[in-house]
Amino acid sequence: MKKDNSNKNVIKGRWYNINKKIKKRLIAKYHKIKDWKMDPKGYFLIEVDKKKKIIQVGYCKFTKLGNAAINDMVAVIKGKTAIEIVNTLIRENFISTLQHAADMGIELHKAELSLKYGFKYIQDKDLEITHNN
């Protein structure tokens, strides 16, 4: 993204020029507990299989029976990249909220980086990136 020095309100894009007409400036924030909402469609368990060089995702549904919750894994999705897996989850209608789709994109990308570079992956945790000197 390059700014056009002749006009400070235009950004020279790769394919288009973009006119800057900013109406809002926001500071991003997210609280892991207060802002998180469970997707009513279910949830996913993500595993990196370094031997087979794949990411495996278990799609789980939950139902409440009295005081007990029943959790069933009803599908398994395997792939090598975050983009192919997250788009499969969306196409199969396993995700019903934008927040969940975004979260899965982030988590699957971490899993993909883990697979590609050998980082330790634990779902919903930061990647453990170590440098071998």
Q: For the full predicted model, state whether its pTM sits above 0.95.
A: no
pLDDT at 3 over 70: no
Range in 7-16, 90-99, 107-116 the model is least confident about: 7-16
Count Cβ neighbours within 10 Å for each residue of 76-114 and write b for 16 or more, e otherwise. Answer: ebebeebeebbeebeeeebbeeeebbebbbebbbbbbbb
pLDDT digits (tens, 9 = 90+) for 67-106: 888 899 999 999 999 999 999 999 999 999 999 999 999 9
Q: What is the CA radius of gyration of the chain?
A: 20
Delimit the domains of the chain by residue range. 43-117
Phi-psi region of 53 (alpha: psi -120 to 50; beta: other; left: phi over 0): left
